Amino acid sequence: MSTLTAYVNGVSFWAPRMPGWQIAAQVLRGEATAPEQPAPRPAPTLLGPTERRRAPDTVAIALEVAGRACESAGADPKELPSVFASTYGDLAISDYMSETLVRTPTLISPIRFHNSVHNAAAGYWTIGTGCYEPYTALTAFGDTFGEGLLEALVQAECGGRAVLLVAYDIEARGPLASMVSSRGIVGAGVVVSPRAQANSLARVRWRTGRGGERTVALDCNAEIVAGNAMAACLPFLETLARSERRTIGVGLSPALSLELAIDFPDAGGFDED
């Protein structure tokens, strides 16, 4: 496949010990230590008080990083197509529904049921922002971040416009935890565009390649999110935080990877090499 070019216009991140991109970037650059005390779950301000209380962790985290990525990019959320990527969806609700169906099947909560679908976070986002642009909700098991990023890059290239990627996963609960490997909470948001803007943070030359090479995180703080199903996002975000030119591989499947050559603007913008 030939190499294509995209630009990162906005980025966000949330984890209990790195609650926000500003903190996360400092930690990933080695300039700060992650706080020992976990931060409380963010409150999605897009939702009214009642919906905010009812929103599960997946929705709260997805809306937080989606909104922050749009702020970072200076983009209107109403104007962005979006890709929502989650490996497992809401594992807490899946555990609740499984247990309730076994013990008291007639007492399934309608509210929790409608939050159990894989595109719940995307639905809350488009309703809360009043966005009528298309969204995609996907999963690809251990390669969900790579497939989500590829989908966003392809949509940006084909549509000629900026696209929002929202990637998130939460902790496995109950008996599911013995089958599914995911600990803690991780959410990341990225706005990618086919054209450079004055505020573009990075340029990404990308293509798919055979071999499924996966770049590992460089920073010693990687263990903070290592147990989460979305930990594959870390090398990409770490590269953005450090602003160091780097080529990384993000998994798409056991046999394929997304090859990303990432560089950054200087005072005169991006070079032409």
User: Per DSSP, what are the bridge partners of residue 219?
Assistant: none
Give the pLDDT of residue 66: 98
Give the pLDDT of residue 108: 86
- Calpha distance 152→121 (Å, rounded): 17
- Nearest one of 36, 45, 38 to 19, comparing CA atoms: 38
Residue that is written with structure tokens 């008996």 in the block:
175
Give the pLDDT of residue 245: 94
Handedness of CA 212, 215, 216, 222 (dihedral sign): negative
Phi/psi at 151 (5° precision): -60, -45
Q: What is the 3-state secondary structure (H, E, C) of the chain?
A: CCCEEEEEEEEEEEECCECCHHHHHHHHCCCCCCCCCCCCCCCCCCCCHHHHHHCCHHHHHHHHHHHHHHHHHCCCHHHCCEEEECCCCCHHHHHHHHHHHHHCHHHCCHHHHHCCCCCHHHHHHHHHHCCCCCEEEECCHHHHHHHHHHHHHHHHHHHCCCEEEEEEECCCCHHHHHCCCCCCCEEEEEEEECCCCCCCCEEEEEEEEECCCCCCCCCHHHHHCCCCCCHHHHHHHHHHHHCCCEEEEEECCCCEEEEEEEECCECCECCCC
Give the pLDDT of residue 110: 84
Instruction: Give the mean pLDDT of 66-90.
Output: 96
The CATH superfamily label for domain 8-198 reads Thiolase/Chalcone synthase (3.40.47.10)
pLDDT digit string, tens, across residues 153-189: 999 999 999 999 999 999 888 888 788 878 889 999 9
pLDDT digit string, tens, across residues 5-52: 999 999 999 999 999 999 999 999 989 888 889 999 998 888 888 888
How do the domains of the chain map onto residue ranges?
A: 8-198
